[in-house]
Structure 1
Amino acid sequence: MAEEKYAKAKCFILSPEGYQEISYLELCRRRDMEPDYQDRKFIPLHGMLMEVTPEQYAEFYRIQNRQRYMDRRSADNGDISVDMLTTDEFNGADILVDPGESIDELVIHKMQTDKLIDCLSLLEQAEQLLIRDLFYNGLTERDAVQKYGVSQVAIHKRKLRILKKLKNMMT
């Protein structure tokens, strides 16, 4: 099986001058012919085999085994990681909460928004309509003049009166 997997691969062996490149078939031939090649350790890197010291070999496979253990444990627990969510089109880290925003501020904002929605529902229908037009539908006070058939000053005073009413409801 390994012969098929690495048949075309480059192998790098340690020599006194540094690393020397040989073919996988040459490595197999040397393992068969030279007894000291039986004890040499190789790790796969980017489709190639690289000779390493016994300590480096042990560390490499210790890390590999640890990663397999962690992956198995995560699968058993149903854990997911941000890396699992990252694709070519999407960065998984984008779903994380901005560290600049504190949880306290987010909760307070949510509570205030919920309270505002409750208070808006207590307004009269005409008041709700004006607030919706001005703040949600993007109508200017001048546009509201034509829709409601009253002066811009009247629209502005109504808006201020409704906002004051909402402020009192919120406190």
Structure 2
Amino acid sequence: MKQIREAIDRMNQCMNRLDRLYYMAARKLGVKDNSLLLYYVLSDEKAHSQKEISEEWLVPRTTLNTVVKEAVEKGYIRLETPGSTREKTLILTEKGKLYAASLLNRVFAAEEQALERTLREFSSDLMKGMEVFTDYMQEEFQKEIFDKEELPSGE
């Protein structure tokens, strides 16, 4: 049991260090961390809605709305209303693609080098293991916390 607790603590520390690295990179690049995240998501050149980004990347809708508004004002993003949905999609403009690339080229290079080095040492099973662990965590949190009627109030 102690070994499992220590492994979980190490994993959480690693996740927190990764979050901090992206935060520090954003600051060094002269942008807010949520702005960097927005350009990161949109750099795949697919249309994404604010709702989708908020849910998948865990950014509060109000925060994301502020960042999107700033990007639209700078001409980096345009909003489109596809088909019959009310939800607008975000698309990088040509100016936005250039700006995003200027921010993300070094981030992508660092990520790719780090992952290549890691996979050489630990094989591609590492990624599958992380995905399986995340799925199991979601199942167990659902069972132990989210589906429970009564939980301690914390007071």
TM-score for the superposition, normalised by structure 2: 0.26
Higher relative contact order (CA 8 A, sep 6+): 2
TM-score for the superposition, normalised by structure 1: 0.24
Structure with larger Rg: 1
Query: Which has the larger share of strand?
Result: 1
